[in-house]
Amino acid sequence: MTDFEKRKLEMELKNFTSKNFEKPSDCRNAAQIRFYVRELCNKIEEYETRFNYVPAWAYSLLSQYTAVQNRMVHIEFVKTYA
């Protein structure tokens, strides 16, 4: 895969995420985060299957969503069992 093709795929994925996703820090509930995590995982899997290439920032974004989700789960756990 050429650098041009990689940049094109990165731009397509970046456009998709900017149009369809909120920033991880702007998410307000666990259901929203789960939806974004699931959609991003599906997109990453699609890129791996179709192009054998996923931009590194996609994994970083997934990590950010997961961190916010873990924080929300922890807060709920503390509220429930404290």
Encode pLDDT of 39-74 as tens digits.
999 999 999 999 999 999 999 999 999 999 999 999
Question: 66 is written with which tokens?
Answer: 């997961």
Total count of domains within the chain: 1
CA distance 55 to 14: 10
Contacts of 49 (CB under 8 A, 6+ apart): none
Asked if 24 and 57 touch (Cβ cutoff 8 Å), the reply is no
Backbone angles phi, psi at 34, to 5 degrees: -60, -40
Assigned token pair, 23:
């920033």
User: Which tens digits make up the pLDDT trace of 25-46?
Assistant: 899 888 999 999 999 999 999 9
Print the SS3 string covering 23-44.
Answer: CHHHCCCHHHHHHHHHHHHHHH
pTM over 0.75? The answer is: yes
Domain range holding 47? 3-81
